[in-house]
């Protein structure tokens, strides 16, 4: 069984397309993260300018103290919102990368099993044990990959729960303060 130039060209083309797909996913995530950071920086700048103007316009110490007390409260909300935005981007990117990896793993498994079937037809007697061992190792790798995906999904769900809890606690604190 020989590898033809067409097979090599097809494999190279698939490899390049794979890398381009990964690059698109990473650049899209970077673009979303950059936009989030820009918007947060712009908002923080505008708010600090407004806060400075308010401080400069304070008429007495009591008004100054009141402005200082009210300025700290939205900072926690904004920090949680920013963390939530970063988390959403990371989760979306991780989901896209997982789908991509699953597709690649599926194609690899299919081609590997096909290759092993072709080899087993032309293999000398007694090589069935080696081919069965390779297939078994492939199945074990697939099982490990599935376990890793389940653990990653559980970690993602835990992070989601933590964000929901933090948001609830923040709302409760705001209600008590009001």
C-alpha 72 chain-centroid distance: 31
pLDDT in tens, 19-62: 898 899 999 999 999 999 999 999 999 988 988 898 888 888 88
What is the predicted pLDDT for the residue at 178?
A: 58
pLDDT tens track, the chain, 178 positions: 566 788 778 878 888 888 898 899 999 999 999 999 999 999 999 988 988 898 888 888 888 888 877 777 778 788 888 988 998 898 899 888 888 888 887 787 777 777 777 777 777 777 777 777 877 887 887 788 778 778 877 887 787 787 778 777 767 766 776 5
What is the predicted pLDDT for the residue at 34?
A: 97
Q: Quick one: tokens of 39?
A: 């918007």
What is the predicted pLDDT for the residue at 24?
A: 93
What is the predicted pLDDT for the residue at 67?
A: 81
């Amino acid at each position: 069984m020989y590898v033809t130039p067409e097979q090599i060209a097809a494999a190279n083309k698939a490899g390049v397309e794979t890398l381009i797909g990964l690059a698109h996913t990473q650049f899209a995530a970077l673009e979303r993260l950059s936009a989030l950071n820009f918007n947060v920086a712009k908002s923080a700048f505008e708010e600090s300018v407004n806060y400075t103007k308010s401080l400069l316009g304070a008429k007495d110490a009591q008004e100054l103290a009141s402005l200082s007390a009210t300025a700290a409260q939205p900072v926690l909300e904004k920090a949680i919102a920013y963390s939530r935005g970063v988390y959403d981007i990371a989760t979306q990117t991780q989901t896209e990368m997982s789908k991509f990896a699953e597709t690649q793993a599926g194609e690899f498994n299919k081609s590997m099993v096909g290759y092993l079937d072709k080899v087993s037809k032309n293999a000398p007697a007694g090589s069935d044990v080696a081919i069965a061992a390779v297939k078994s190792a492939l199945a074990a790798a697939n099982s490990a990959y599935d376990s890793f995906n389940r653990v990653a999904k559980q970690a993602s769900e835990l992070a989601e729960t933590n964000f929901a809890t933090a948001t609830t606690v923040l709302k409760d604190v705001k209600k008590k303060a009001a």
